[in-house]
Amino acid sequence: MQMPIARLTPDAVFPVPGTPDWIAVDDAVWISNKPKDEIVRLDPKTNAVVARVTPGKRPCSGLASGFGSLWVPNCGDQTLARIDL
């Protein structure tokens, strides 16, 4: 069975001020937002924003989830932030 993509509708839409650019998924959905210098955590069970974290200056170049942490490279201050999950 095939369904045209135009017939699909989202279950939820999340407003994220700024420009969402990278995403990582584990038990939550993490979105980086370079212009706002923040990472947003979404709870997929409640469809709610449950945290906002400032990991450093200009999070960039992706997000990675592993070893019980979220890893965030920051281009603005040339650091790597580790956020314990």
Per-domain residue ranges of the chain = 18-84
pLDDT of residue 2: 86
Q: What's the order of all strands across the beta sheet hosting 64-66?
A: 64-66, 69-74, 79-84
Q: Report d(CA 45, CA 11) in Å as an integer.
A: 11
CATH 2.40.10.500, applies to 18-84: yes
For residue range 51-77, what is the model confidence (pLDDT) as tens digits? 999 998 988 888 999 999 999 999 999
For residue range 7-54, what is the model confidence (pLDDT) as tens digits? 989 888 888 778 888 999 989 999 998 778 899 999 989 988 899 999
**Which candidate, 59, 57, 81, places its Cα nearest to that of 70?**
81
For residue 51, what are the CA distances in angstroms to 3, 77, 79?
A: 35, 22, 21
